[in-house]
Amino acid sequence: MKSHFPLIGVTLDSELPATEDRAGYSRFPWYAIRQNYMDMIAACGGLPVALGHDASQAAAMVARLDGLVVTGGAFDVPPDLYGASDQHASVQTKPRRTVAETDLIHAAMARGIPILGICGGMQLLAVMMGGWLVQHIPDTYPAALAHEQLNPRDEAGHAVNVVAGTHLARLVGQDRLAVNSSHHQAVGDAGRAVICATAPDGIVEAIELPGHPFCIGVQWHPEFGISAGDRLLFEGLIDAARQIRT
């Protein structure tokens, strides 16, 4: 009998070697992830496994997974991927990571396994769906909320309004969620995905792909478990992944 604990791949961040002028875990390139990503998946009944950035292995990795979580990080999707000719001064990219995550998402979609994109992971999903990004919220929307919140990330930064009738709404069972906020970019257009949550200022906060068993991206970081809806989102991912195992 197959395990009831589905295997969930979690993408890693990559960091430069530590130097005399730059602190870090190692003087060699290193991968990084916050413990709460893995802890939340485990608490919701999944078996989390970390995924490196070798794009040539993406299909082989996904072939063994029951679900995929594309995490966030302090970097941006390269603007050329969504047809932008200019790059804002604030934009920082990690091309090797983005190439690997793009291939992982392609493979996960081809297999029809559940996908959860978080923060930058949501933005990459939108771009892959044919959408584009606002490169720096304060420049484009000067009256917007503070989406890079000043208070700790394990506290709420603002609320989001969940669109009725969406997959996200069915999962969380609420029309409004308190969320944290740690991003300077935003989805300007979701392409063939649909918007399923927005901030009070109109900034896109969640997207989903109709027709896919579970393909949701959220702009906040639900691994912190700020509201009951955060855990319900992960439980929904694990439940969908469990169906792959049966």
pLDDT in tens, 84-101: 999 999 999 999 999 999
Q: How far apart are the first and last CA of the chain?
A: 9
When pLDDT is averaged across residues 68-87 and rounded to a whole number, the result is: 97
Active site residue 44: no
Catalytic residue among 147, 167, 183, 221: 221
Q: What is the DSSP string of 109-137?
A: HHHT--EEEETHHHHHHHHHTT-EEES-H
223 is catalytic: yes
Given a cut of 90, whether residue 245 has pLDDT beyond it is no
| 221 catalytically annotated | yes
For the segment 187-221, what is each residue's pLDDT rounded down to a tens digit? 999 999 999 999 999 999 999 999 999 999 999 99
Strand ranges in 28-82 using DSSP code E only, listed in sequence order? 30-32, 47-51, 67-70
Q: Which of 119, 147, 167, 196 is catalytic?
A: 119
- Given a cut of 50, is residue 1 above it in pLDDT? no
Give the mean pLDDT of 118-122: 98
pTM given for the model: 0.97
Residue-wise pLDDT for 44-60, tens only, equals: 999 999 999 999 999 99
Rg (Cα) of the chain, in Å, rounded? Answer: 17
> Tokens standing for 107?
């493979």
Share of the chain above pLDDT 90, in %: 97
Where is pLDDT greater, at 201 or 243?
Answer: 201
Are the beta carbons of 72 and 221 closer than 8 angstroms?
yes
Q: Where are the domains of the chain?
A: 7-245
Fold category of 7-245 in CATH: Rossmann fold (3.40.50)
pLDDT band at 3 (very low <50, low <70, confident <90, very high): low
Residue 225 burial (C-beta neighbours within 10 Å; 0-12, 13-18, 19+): middle
